[in-house]
Each structure stands twice: as structure tokens, then as C-alpha cells.
Amino acid sequence: MSTLKEEKVFKDPVHSYIYVQDELIWNLINSAEFQRLRRIRQLGTTFLTFHGAEHSRFSHSLGVYEITRRIISQFERYNYPDWPKEERIVALCAALLHDIGHAPFSHSIEEIFETDHEQWTVKILLEDTEINHILAAYAPDLPLKVAQVIQKTYSQSIVVSLISSQLDADRMDYLLRDAYFTGTDYGNFDLERILRVLRPHQGTIVVKESGMHAVEHYLMSRYQMYWQIYFHPVTRSSEIILRQIFKRAKQLYTEKYTFQWMDPAIFSLIEGTLHLNSYLSLDESLVQYTFSRWQHENDQLLSELCERFLNRKLYKYITATEMPEQWLEEIKKAFTSIGLDPEYHMEIDYPMDRPYDIYRTEQPIISGREKAPIMLLEKDGTLTEIASKSDIISSISGLHQGRFHLYYPEEALIRHRHQLSARIKQIFNIQDEEQSSND
Amino acid sequence: MSTLKEEKVFKDPVHSYIYVQDELIWNLINSAEFQRLRRIRQLGTTFLTFHGAEHSRFSHSLGVYEITRRIISQFERYNYPDWPKEERIVALCAALLHDIGHAPFSHSIEEIFETDHEQWTVKILLEDTEINHILAAYAPDLPLKVAQVIQKTYSQSIVVSLISSQLDADRMDYLLRDAYFTGTDYGNFDLERILRVLRPHQGTIVVKESGMHAVEHYLMSRYQMYWQIYFHPVTRSSEIILRQIFKRAKQLYTEKYTFQWMDPAIFSLIEGTLHLNSYLSLDESLVQYTFSRWQHENDQLLSELCERFLNRKLYKYITATEMPEQWLEEIKKAFTSIGLDPEYHMEIDYPMDRPYDIYRTEQPIISGREKAPIMLLEKDGTLTEIASKSDIISSISGLHQGRFHLYYPEEALIRHRHQLSARIKQIFNIQDEEQSSND
Amino acid sequence: MSTLKEEKVFKDPVHSYIYVQDELIWNLINSAEFQRLRRIRQLGTTFLTFHGAEHSRFSHSLGVYEITRRIISQFERYNYPDWPKEERIVALCAALLHDIGHAPFSHSIEEIFETDHEQWTVKILLEDTEINHILAAYAPDLPLKVAQVIQKTYSQSIVVSLISSQLDADRMDYLLRDAYFTGTDYGNFDLERILRVLRPHQGTIVVKESGMHAVEHYLMSRYQMYWQIYFHPVTRSSEIILRQIFKRAKQLYTEKYTFQWMDPAIFSLIEGTLHLNSYLSLDESLVQYTFSRWQHENDQLLSELCERFLNRKLYKYITATEMPEQWLEEIKKAFTSIGLDPEYHMEIDYPMDRPYDIYRTEQPIISGREKAPIMLLEKDGTLTEIASKSDIISSISGLHQGRFHLYYPEEALIRHRHQLSARIKQIFNIQDEEQSSND
Amino acid sequence: MSTLKEEKVFKDPVHSYIYVQDELIWNLINSAEFQRLRRIRQLGTTFLTFHGAEHSRFSHSLGVYEITRRIISQFERYNYPDWPKEERIVALCAALLHDIGHAPFSHSIEEIFETDHEQWTVKILLEDTEINHILAAYAPDLPLKVAQVIQKTYSQSIVVSLISSQLDADRMDYLLRDAYFTGTDYGNFDLERILRVLRPHQGTIVVKESGMHAVEHYLMSRYQMYWQIYFHPVTRSSEIILRQIFKRAKQLYTEKYTFQWMDPAIFSLIEGTLHLNSYLSLDESLVQYTFSRWQHENDQLLSELCERFLNRKLYKYITATEMPEQWLEEIKKAFTSIGLDPEYHMEIDYPMDRPYDIYRTEQPIISGREKAPIMLLEKDGTLTEIASKSDIISSISGLHQGRFHLYYPEEALIRHRHQLSARIKQIFNIQDEEQSSND
């Protein structure tokens, strides 16, 4: 297994073309486990807010591979001594496969069923799969090496740095790709310039000092993407519905409710007995098909939630800087009084409760999620942390912009408005009389 | 029901924004039947060739609506006497809903199961659906009017012309959208310029003479898109697999085979007893989920075909200008001799056997598919057919560029190469010895 | 004079098309004074740093007109009561003509010869010019009204606000245009979105609250453009050369030096006796032609400086956070010792000494340059200053990022390196031996 | 002289970045003769039609260099045996310098004064210039080699093929660049794809067979650019004015007219005694400055023509498929009768009389301008001419789309309409009464 007789290309809207020169990479792309990524959207439920965001983890994974390939090919062209040339294949495989263990709508599924996509990635790499066989056929220790890169324990830390750092191939691809498919300008930055100023340096990737402004632009783009796209409250609303569905199904299972229909893999997922083969059968088709069947379940709550998700009847939200406990209790009481279930019909969300991290240099808020800061390589060979040189980065690195959102089913409140107190109506801005349609 | 208090916008990568000013349109978009279009890809299996092409009929339908809205808004601004202002709502609804009756992977399903998406569209408009109720609440005769536009029988022919002609909002959106999502440059043309030169004229839409070059560019873009994207042989290969799956399932049903699993709607589809509710449950989730279950069916052929589709193990193809019957017989015999089934393991395809039409002015090849030619409005008020003025359009309007492709499973031929005659091996370019991987 | 029988369009790379509906506007564009703007580059000497920046004030002026036209056309479509409809023509004329009084390389010429482009603009509007005649033919008081808008004394302050504020048509066009022609991504922001959220409100233009993030993006883009493009030290170097040329010519005139060649308008400019007709003959052709003749003047300094400008032999620069007087004295002494003239062969520059203003809310640094802050219009009708709501804007509004640059002729220092002290050589990084070309 | 210690980059809107790795190239760019190209627009008078087209031959020359560099760098990466590696520097220099001999508004000047930019290019390469010294310092025979490439006599024909063929770096850059700066979409094609399919083959550049569609797209783009941009009748009108100015000045010189002002280089140009130094002083500044002085000459015709050019008071035109001699005589008589000079106030133009060539495979229309056809490299190693495989190319290669245009000063005809015969008025569409401005 080696270099392809003829280089293969994929037309890609973000990188123009994706180039495959190695038979190993070609075979990995054609494996069943990798093709499965076509059936998992990159941005989960975001397509319900930005209809263009229908792109899959398949295209993102190719993109991360391509950026990594370009970085390495430049390191090789200039013969940088700090780049270990023998790591090329390990890095390319890790870039291509870094998301291979994702479930459909990963964050929601991981939260409710306590699974972890990184552990599944490692299983796919090390257990009996097409991918494992392809890697092992190339070199018996390759599956393990790639798994170590994913787990950030690989001895050659520079390879980890390529795939997972503040300025890694993963982020660079997803910002550009998500901006392209949602149709926003926010995520654009000068990829070509950034690739040009990256340097391998003592086991990590650093940035040539002259590239500081390009990195500033990248970080500002990232900042905007988080607030405009990733933390968009409508997307959050659809994620909440999704999580409520899984939560309800789990609860019904506990209560020994008889489902009219359930796919075996979903059953194992709820039961906590999922094996690799079943895990790999999980994709968005299965989840959506499941919801379309559960629309007709006898349990009203499950049925309602599935109908909400499929037909995009999302929860509305109100926003506040504070949400005191007493006030929430009052709302719950009011909700209960009109037949809503506060467990399922309301949810509070604070934007920071999520596994994204705005650039920061101090202590990470969410332990285990920290990424090394971006270092500038000065002309004299010393390293400086970028926020200490860039006023704009130091400005944004301390920002905590979030506010609380409370999500709820608006139609129910309007329908039962006669039963609500003036105070509750004011909170949720419910008019006493339904407005005539000619207003 | 009337103008929205606040205009709604959708961020769209192709048109930048899509603007909704009418409560009617807003409600139609939020109906269950319209949201279902999110689960049907615009380009069917094309994503298996161009991985970016994962966009849905939902986003295309919004785009056709938006182009129609812009055309009408311009007609209104300039007060063109030939535009019947009272038709605005009918036209916008027809634009938005023109694809509402599509099944997942429509062309294949229509071919095997002899359904017709236009008839389903009419049913959705006229029978008991959310869309029907929303339209009828606006005006009792609106469902019928919209259905007539779809069926091209509407008395105001200019409305039909907006939605369905050589230069209609449908084509303009799909060329731009498919170019954007596949990442090709071929489909780009100057939409703003074309919209500026359209004029309502005696019951049809014509082009101001000064816009001839912009239309040339549009037609050349269309020409390229057909050959580069829509007729791409790899996409054809995936469509063939898909059709073989449905054909096989139908055959097994006829043979009273016991399926381990089948969704009721698929059953009705095969049986030919599909009702509207079941039809609306058909989406790509259901089809893909079905295939993932059929991968494990006992019927080898069905299982193999489903596995091919899901894991993208497509048929390879050879190309020729002629495919004489005798030669095909020879191939079929050879295929049978190595255990292949010529009914399922080979298929001949001639690019012109498909419901796309390159611009032409003479007789339509496929009856019922003809569209009116593009007319130029001269300064003196006369009309001229564009191909009579434009050398480039008259050049391409007569072209028949297609060649035959024969699709087949290459791995099987390689595996059984020792049993194949030299002639067959030559036809399919099968080497006598598998090449060592170091070549 | 009124509406054109047929709308005229200009193809524009930034706005796609520029639309002219009024005969008045069409005639103004075709006036000699407006056509002169084709011979003055928008970004002065920036083309010597970014070779794409060869665009003229002509195209920028059309762009400002077009943005203003779109804003007004939207205000009219929605019938906002706070927009005075009768001001349309005044606003469009002021937008089109706001830069009409610019000299070639304005900032340098204004500084050396103490002219002011705004005063010239007013003269062009009010004195005997084609533009004055065209405006007056439309309405006798139109020239004065437009002049008042330019001078910010117009009674309808909302018109001034359109042309000159923190978020005006001028800035919006130049950021997009300069980004396009230099080829950078920094200046891109979502113009369509911003235009949608502008509202006329009590004599000024405000932003609908939901547009806050779009304005953040605009301000961040502006921030980047200033640091990447407008304050680029190489551009500053070419501006310094230019200013030195004018300074030298003025000095020589004072000393009664006999020029071999001088255009009469340049003579009047130096003498301070420039009349309107001569002013209008000033363009970049004249300046460049003058320099090409002065290359051959007997005065060594003038000749050298002109040769530097035409052949782009710019001064190099060193950067520092402090430049104490004593240190500069030392450098001047060293420069003099090797035959350089510290008056002309060195210049210190601090980025903030220039008529650009990063967004700020407090006191303006440069008096007379302040612009009103951006106000958000809340749903309840109150106004809030944007920096009080947006953390990112409040972060950048206080930044003072500049450092000192000292510009000097590097070749002279290299040539005379044997005469320089070790300390001076270290400051300017001059090697003792010229490096062999094979290093 | 060799590899730069640090690669230099130019930000370029078309190619994103232009990379310079060789000290030789860097020095050539910094030479006076190359910097002069900043003062000559790439598209001559086209900016009077498309205001964005203000880009210079400087940026185009960098672009041709960059495309050539990318092609060669790919040839080197894949080690194609038919690429002579030692020709890299010759090819890069020829690419960079191919336009170095252009005068301002070249085509007009060459026609009137019978100069030839190719000969001047050779002089600049071989005589006493900065460029000659830089080249000769690298290798004594380098100036001659580069000159031979320009003259198409170089022994290594593949180098000529890179710079000058149907699919050369020159055309690829100008199509993309002119499309970008005019703001049209017509010229876009997939440069990256085309670069990927070019192959060196027996002394020429051919195209891998799989690249046929990309080349089709390129040729169709070229076709559109010619008709939309390069042959635009308004641009032709401004070129005619320009040529008339030079013709008039030459005539006045012959008649021993005393010019109030004339630059020495213009004088030599008219006299036919131009030396290299004077030639190099010719740029658009000089030409425009000259015209601004000639506006005030006593000769009415010269003064009028210069005023027309500077203030864009161009000739209008009428279009016809035939222009019989008798008919023209009639027009000339009518023109003379109202005081116009048919020598200067009218001109007939047939689009094909110009040094552009639509793709063709047969005999070249203009001798000496033919370029080798594009050859496809089949998988079996044979070559096929592209038009024999591509229906679309064979369709357009035979087209002769041009029509006659007759240019004339419309205002004069309107002013004297009472003296014109009905027939002449009809030809030029002159109304009997001036239309009131309120129409």
C-alpha cells in the first residue's frame, strides 16, 4: 500500500479541491465507518436555524485532512528541522478520523446517555472494523498511534498540536465550512496566510511573529461565529427539544412503558448496553425515522416533542441577566397550573454551559477542555503568548458575554392565557386578547 | 391573514437573504408538509459524487420563492401594464410549493413505482393537509389556483411562465444553488442582471433585447452544469444502484418473499396502494433506514445492493459511442458465467434518457417536457426567438453530446478474472494478475 | 429635468450594479469636475504597498451614492415617518459629490500647502462650474443645500448623518471597496444586513437593536482595515517621500531656485495663489508627470526624492514604543556625518497622528473630527449607545495600539557603514560587512 | 544572486498571494522599467466603460509570473521528464517581463506611430537598462534567452508555449483579472483545475484528457469576455477618440503647426526619432497631462478631441450588418455640410479588425497572430485537437459574430438637425424637435 498511481481529487466548496495521494487515505475514506459520517450533520440541529447548514461530518473530516496535508506539505517543502517527517501518515490519519466516533446529534446523546464520542473513536480505531484493518495493514502499530493522537497522549506532541489546539486544522476547517454553508461572512479569515506563518517548533506549532494580525482576524472571526451561529438561541431551542425527547424515552423505559416501535440500537443505547456494531448503526436517518414513528406513540409528551422536532415547532425564549430561584419556582407553578410539565416544557440555558471555548489564556472554565495558547515566534527565536502582544486579543479573551435564556412552549401559554396571572403574562409578553390578524 | 408586522428573513448562502412579508407565506413555510422537504435532498444521490451537494429541497424551494418575489416586486415597482398585480399571491405560493410533492430520490422511485410527483403535489394542495387549510383560509379558491399553475393549466399563463419556462425561477435557483453547494464555478451567471431585463409581455415573460448576452451566459452555464454535474456518470452509477434496490424489493414482493423488516409506507408503495398520509411519511431518513435494515436481509442481491448504496461501493463504468445488441449479449453471457445477474449487475445508460432538456428550439425529444423558447423584446416592440439572434445559442441548441455508459461491479470481474475470456477482459480492462501494491 | 426614460446602470465590482434613475444624477456624473475624480486614486500611495489598490475616487463616489440610494429607497418603501422624503435629491447629490474637492494625494498636499478639500468642495458647488450649473438648473437653492450637508450645517441633520457619521455611506463603501481592490478579507461585512436595520429616528440614523451583531462585525472589520491597510508602514513610507518632495519644492521656491520645469498650477499651489480652475487641473497625472520631470532637476535632494517615489525606492523603517529626544539627536548627528539631511532623510511617525478614528465614545482626539456614536433603537423605542451593550465594541473602543516608526534611507547607511558608530549600526541593524549574495 | 533568505509575498486579489523566492525576480520587480508598468493601465481606455478597470500592467505582469511559477512548481513536484528543469528562470523572467515594452494605450499608439511593443521589449531586455543589468548579472546570456522567448524563437519551444499559446499564463491571468476588476462573472473559470491537468509533452504544453470540460469552460469564458468587455462599443468609441487625437497631432506637426506645449518624448514619437530613454518616459501620466494641456491649443479639432477624452464626451454609434460605400459617401457629405470633418468626426469599426482571436483551428485571420491549438493527451499517449472532441468548442470556433459600428458626435447632429435631410436624420435617429426635458 503506497502512493496512488493517480492522485485523486474531491471537489470541495471550501478548499476548492481535496487531494489524496496515499492509497491508505483513499481506502480509509472508502470504509463503511467513514462513509457513515455522510449521515451525520456537522452542526446537528443548526439547519433548523440556518437552512444551509445541512453539511455532514464527512465533508468536514475531508477538510481537516486537507488542511493538515497542506501544513505538512509546506513543512516538508521547507525542510523545517522541528517537523518529524516520519509522522506524516499518523497526522493525516488522525486528521481524517478525528470525528469518526461521533453519534448523530452528539452533544444531546452524550449528555442524556452518558456516552463519549472520543472513547467510541478509540474503539473504532482499535477494535474489529474496516478502519482498523486498513490502518493495521499499513503498519501494525498505526491504529494505536492514531488513537493516542486522539487521546492527546501521543509521544510526538506536535502531531496532537496539529489536530487539537487553539489554531488547529479542526477549527480552521469548521469555521470556514460552517460560515460557507450557513451563508454568513463572519467566519472568513485568510487561511492561506495562516498556513504560511505556521512553524513547527520544539514539539508544538507556533506562529511566525509577522502573522499576528492574521491570527487576530481568525480569533475575531471565531468570536463572531460563536455568538452568531453556534450559540444562536433558536438552535439551542431545537437542541433542547431533542434532549427532552431522549430524556422522555429514557424515563418511559424506566417506567416500563411499552413502545410501539423501537430500533434495537436505540434500545441498547437507553439500556446502556450498546456494542460497537450497534453504535455504528446510529445515524441521523435512524434518529429521524425513530422520531417519525414516536410521533404516533401513546405517550402524549413523547409524541408532542417528536412532532415539535420534525415539524420545527420549537420553544420560544425569553432572555435575562439573572434568573433567581424564587422567580423560577413561580413560573413552574404557573406552568403546572395550566397542564404543562416543568420537567419537559421549560429549560434554562446559559450560553457558557457548552463545550466551546472562546480564546482564553488563564484557567479553563471547563476542566479537560483547555487548549494550549497561541505562541508567536519572534525573529530572535523567543516565544511570546499572543494576547500579551495583541490588544484586541487580550480584550476579547476575558469576555463573558452570555445571558440566561428560558425556553418554553408559547402556544400553550397563549391558549391558557386566561388562567395566567398578570405577572406571568407580563414575563412572557402574553396579550390578554389574541390579536386580530389584521393588526 | 395579511402582511407580517415585522418582515422575516432567512439567511441564505445563495441569495444572501430570503424575505417573507406575508403571513400566508410564513405559515406555509411552517407547515408539516413544507418542513418535510428538509428531509429530501435537492440533488438526490449527487452527494455521493460531490460531497457538498447535501442541500435539501427546502432551501431550493425558499430560493425559488425569493427569485419570484424579486421579479414580481420589480414588475410592481415599474408598474408594467402586462403584469396582473392580483396574481402576486398565487405566483408566490406556486413558487414556494412547486416541489412539495417530491418523494425522496424522486426520479428512481417514480420510475420503478410509476408514481408522479406532480400528481402528489396537486393532492397535497387539494386534499386534507396543513397546506390546503392555510391556503383555503386565505381564499377558498387559492388551493385550486395554485394547483392549476403547477399543472400549467392556469388561465393567467404569465404565472405559469414565471415558475416553468426556459428561464424560470426554478431553474435560476437550482443552477446557482447546485453550483454553490457542489463548489463548482460552472453554474454562476448574473442573476441580478437577468432579473433586471425580464419583462411581462402579453401573458408571458420575455427578455429585453439588451439582456441577450446575460441570457447567453445563463444558457452556457446551464449547458456546463448538465454535463459536469447532472449527467456525471458516478452520480448515474449511484442512481442505478438505488433503482436496482427498489426493483429487487418489488420483485421479491411479487415472489412473496418474507422481508425481515419493512416500513408500512414502503409496503404500500410497492403494493401500489399508497395514501397521502403515507406518501408524506416518505423521506430520505425512511429510505436510508430501510436500506440499513435490508443490508441484513437474507436475499443476497438485496443485501449486496443496499450495502453498495450505504457504503458507496458503486458500479464502475465503461464508455462507448455504440453498444450493439450482439456485443451486449456476449457480455451478459460472460457475466452469468461468473455468477452475476445481468438484470441487476449491469445497466446501460445514455445521458439523453433523462428529464433534463438542453436549450432547444425545435421539437422536444421527450413529449410533455417542452418549455417555451426564450423571446427577446426588441426596442420596436417585436419579439425574436433568441437562437435566431445569438450564434452561440444556436450553436449549442443542436448539440447531442451523449455517449453510452455501461455500469458493472468491477470487483466481481477482478475476482473472477481467470474465468473471463481475453475479449471480455479487454473490454473491461481487467489485468491478468492483480497489480502488486507497490506499482 | 427629471426621471430618466431608461434607468442607467454601471457595472460595479463591489455593489454589482449602480443604478441611476434621475437625470440630475446622470448629468452630474458626466460633468468635467466629476470625471476628474477618475484621475485621483482613492487610497493615494497605497498602491505602492497593495498593488491592487489602483481604484479611483470616481468609483468610490459612485459607491457612496449607491449605498445612499439603497438606504433612501428602503426608507421610502416602508414609509418611515422620520424620513423627510423631500430630501432625497439633496442626499443623493451630497453622497455623489462629497469627495469632489479632493486634490491628488490629498493628505500630503493639504499638510504641506495648507489647503482643505472641504473648502474646495464648497467652492466647486457654489462657484462657476459645470456641477454648479447642473445643480442650480434643478433648483436654485440646491448648490447651497448640498454645500451645507458637506459642511455639516444643513438644517435637516438626518441628511448629514447619512453621509457623515460612524456608520455612514462613505465609510461603508470605502471599507468594502478598499478590501476588494487590495484583495484582503478584513473589510468584509454584511452590507445588506446593515442596510436592513438602519432606521431614521428624530433627525439621525439609528440601528434596530437586532442589528447589533452586524454592527459589531462592521466595527471589527474597520478596526482590522485600519491596522492592516490604512496604517501600513510601507504606505506611510511612500506618503513621507511624497510630502518631502512637496516640502523640498516649497523650500526651493522660497530660496528662489530656478526650476527647469514647473506646471503653472503647481506654481500657484506653492505660491498660495491657486484659483478654482487651476485647482481642478490638479490630478495624479499632473503630479506624476511633474515628478518625472523633477527627476532631472539640478537640486540633488528633489531629484533623489522624485526618483524614489516613481521607482518605489522607499525609506525603510524601525519600530519602537518610545523615541526619546536625546536618542533622536544622536541619530540626526550620525546622519549628518554621512552626508544625509535629517530634515529630509528621516521622519518619525506615530500612527495616531492621522485623520482616521477608530470607534470611540469619549472625547475625540482630533478636534473637529468627532462623529456621533452609533445608537441602538430598542423595541420599546429608547436609544442606547452601542458600546454600553456590546462588550466587544467597548473593548476595542479604548485601544491605542500605535508604535513609533522611524523612516530612513537604508542604502545610504549601508554604503557609509564604516563611518557609523557601533550603536547606530545596531539601532539600524547594519551589518559590518555586506552579506555575500550566497548567504 | 540566488534564493531569498525569506520568501516575499504580494497580496493579490486574483491569486490571493504572489510568491517570490528568487532574488533575481525580486530585483526585476524593483527595477525602474518594471515599476513604470504601474503607470500603464492593463485595459487602456476600458475604465471609461467599466469604471473598475483601473488596474495596471504591473499587477497583470505579477499575475502571469505567478501562474507560470505555479505551473513550473507542479511540473517539478511530479518530475515530468518532458519539462527541462534548467529553464525555470528563463520562463519566470519571460513571464514577468512579457509586457515590459508596452506604451500607454498601446494599440492606438502603435497604429498611428507604427511602433511595435514587442520590439521595444527586446530593446529593454538587450540594451542599457536596469533590467538588462539585473538579468546579465545572473547569467550573461539570460537577456538574449528571454528576448528569444518573447520573439518565439527560443530553442526550447515549451517555454514559449507557457507564455504564448491558446492556453498560456498570459491569457489565464488577464481573463481572471479583467473579470475581477470590471466586476463581471464572465471571465471566471477554474484555474486550479486547469493548472492540475497541464502536462509538458514533447516541447509543448498539452492538457490531460480528463481536463476537457475545464478547458471548455475556459474557452466559453474567453468568448464571453471578448464580446462583453474587450469588444464593447463604448470602449471602442474612446479608443477612436484617442487615435484621432494622435492622428491630429501628427497631422498638425506635418503642417508645421506651433504647439503651445509638447513634451519632448511626444515630439520624438511623432517625428519617429524616439530613443529608448524617451520611450520609457512614456506613460499614462504623460499622455493625460499632454491632453490636459492640448485642451487649450488653438487648433479647434485637437482641443475638442482632448476635451472629449478627458471628460468622457464620447462618440455615439449606430450598428449595421452592412455599410456600403455609397451610403458612407452620403453620410460624409451630410457631415461636411454641417461643419464636421469626416476624417475625424466619424469612424467605422468592424470588431474583427483587432488583435484578439477567438479560438479557432483553421487558418488564422490575422497573419502572425496564430497560436497553436489546444491538444488533449489521451490515456494511451496520443494527442487529439480539442475541437475534434468537444462539440461546444467546435461550435464556437467557427463563429464570426461581429457587426459594423459607425461612430459620430451626436450633439453636433442634434444641434444642426434643421440642416439634415430626413434620410440622414432617420439613420442617426435624430428627432425634429429636441425633446422637452419633462418627457
> For the segment B48-79, what is each residue's pLDDT rounded down to a tens digit?
999 999 999 999 999 999 999 999 999 998 99
For residue D85, the 8-state DSSP code is G
Contact status of D192 with chain A (Cβ, < 8 Å): yes
- Per residue in D153-202, pLDDT (tens digit) is 999 999 999 999 889 999 999 999 999 999 998 888 999 999 999 999 99
Q: What is the DSSP pairing of strand D198-201 with strand D347-349?
A: unpaired
Secondary structure class of A204 (helix, strand, coil):
strand
Confidence grade of residue B4 (pLDDT, cut at 50, 70, 90) = confident
Q: Please tell me the distance in Å from B209's CA to the nearest CA on chain A.
A: 34
Q: Which residues pair with B412 in a beta bridge?
A: none
Contact A1 B437 (CB under 8 A): yes
Neighbours of chain B (3+ CB pairs under 8 A): A, C, D
What average pLDDT is seen over chain C?
Answer: 90
| Alpha-carbon torsion angle B164, B165, B167, B168, nearest 10 | -10
Angle among Cα A71, A74, A79 to the nearest 5 degrees reads 125
Q: Please tell me the distance in Å from A283's CA to the nearest CA on chain C.
A: 34
Q: What are the DSSP calls for C385-422, one per residue?
A: EGGGT-HHHHHHHT-----EEEEE-HHHHHHTGGGS-H
Q: Are C286 and C229 in contact (CB under 8 A)?
A: no
Contact A188 C185 (CB under 8 A): yes
* C contact residues 8-47, partner B, Cβ 8 Å cutoff: 9, 16-17
Label residues D107-118 b or e (16+ Cβ within 10 Å = b). bbbbebbebebb
- Please tell me which of the candidates B17, B193, B196 has its beta carbon nearest to residue C192: B17
Whether the predicted interface score ipTM is above 0.95? no
pTM (2 decimals)? 0.93
> Rounded to whole angstroms, how far apart are CA atoms A238 and A317?
11
Confidence grade of residue A231 (pLDDT, cut at 50, 70, 90) = confident
Neighbours of chain A (3+ CB pairs under 8 A): B, C, D
> Rounded to whole angstroms, how far apart are CA atoms C314 and C409?
7
Secondary structure class of C432 (helix, strand, coil):
coil
Which one has a higher pLDDT value, B217 or B61? B61
- Please tell me which of the candidates A188, A189, A392 has its beta carbon nearest to residue C223: A392
Instruction: Tell me the mean pLDDT in the region B339-347.
Output: 95
**What is the pLDDT at residue A349?**
85
Contact B11 A184 (CB under 8 A): yes
Residue C437: pLDDT above 60?
Answer: no
Contact status of D3 with chain A (Cβ, < 8 Å): no
* A contact residues 298-357, partner B, Cβ 8 Å cutoff: 310-313
Taking CA atoms, D200 is separated from A367, D84, D195, in Å, by 56, 9, 12
Contact C1 D39 (CB under 8 A): no
- Please tell me which of the candidates C9, C17, C192 has its beta carbon nearest to residue B16: C192
What share of chain C in percent tops pLDDT 90? 77
Confidence grade of residue B414 (pLDDT, cut at 50, 70, 90) = very high
Chain B partners within 8 Å of A38 (Cβ): 47-48, 51, 54, 312
Query: Among candidates D48, D369, D410, D39, which has minimal Cα distance to D236?
Result: D48
- Please tell me which of the candidates A17, A192, A193 has its beta carbon nearest to residue D192: A17
- Per residue in D74-123, pLDDT (tens digit) is 999 889 999 999 999 999 999 999 999 999 999 889 889 989 999 999 99
What average pLDDT is seen over chain A?
Answer: 90
What cell does B417 get?
A: 478474472
Confidence grade of residue B364 (pLDDT, cut at 50, 70, 90) = very low
Neighbours of chain D (3+ CB pairs under 8 A): A, B, C
Contact A51 B56 (CB under 8 A): yes
Q: Which residues pair with A377 in a beta bridge?
A: A208, A383
For residue A434, the 8-state DSSP code is P
B357 by Cβ neighbours in 10 Å (0-12 / 13-18 / 19+) ranks as middle
Interface test with A, best of B2, B8, B10, B11 (most A CBs within 10 A): B11
Confidence grade of residue D398 (pLDDT, cut at 50, 70, 90) = low
Interface test with B, best of A47, A54, A235 (most B CBs within 10 A): A54
Q: How many CA atoms lie within 13 A of A329 on its CB side?
A: 3
- Please tell me which of the candidates A5, A35, A47 has its beta carbon nearest to residue B439: A5
**What is the pLDDT at residue A398?**
63
- Please tell me which of the candidates B31, B52, B292 has its beta carbon nearest to residue A55: B52
- Please tell me which of the candidates B38, B184, B437 has its beta carbon nearest to residue A11: B184
Chain A partners within 8 Å of D196 (Cβ): 9, 17
Contact status of B294 with chain A (Cβ, < 8 Å): no
Q: What are the DSSP calls for D309-357, one per residue?
A: HHTT---EEEEES---HHHHHHHHHHHHHTT--HHHH-EEE-TTSSS--
Q: Are D41 and D238 in contact (CB under 8 A)?
A: no
Q: Among A367-376, B226-235, C169-178, D143-152, whose mean pLDDT is lowest?
A: A367-376
> Rounded to whole angstroms, how far apart are CA atoms D53 and D181?
5
Contact A185 C186 (CB under 8 A): no
Could you identify the residue written with the cell 451630497?
A: C94
Give the distance, in angstroms, between the CA of residue A27 and the centroid of all CA atoms in the same chain: 26
What share of chain B in percent tops pLDDT 90? 77
C187 by Cβ neighbours in 10 Å (0-12 / 13-18 / 19+) ranks as buried
Query: Among candidates B289, B54, B310, B262, which has minimal Cα distance to A287?
Result: B289
Could you identify the residue written with the cell 470588431?
A: D351
Residue D124: pLDDT above 90?
Answer: yes
Q: What domains are defined for chain A?
A: 3-231 (1.10.3210.10), 232-311 (1.20.1250.30), 315-378+402-439 (no CATH)
Interface test with C, best of B8, B15, B17, B209 (most C CBs within 10 A): B17
Q: How many CB pairs under 8 A join A and D?
A: 10
Interface test with A, best of C172, C176, C186, C403 (most A CBs within 10 A): C186
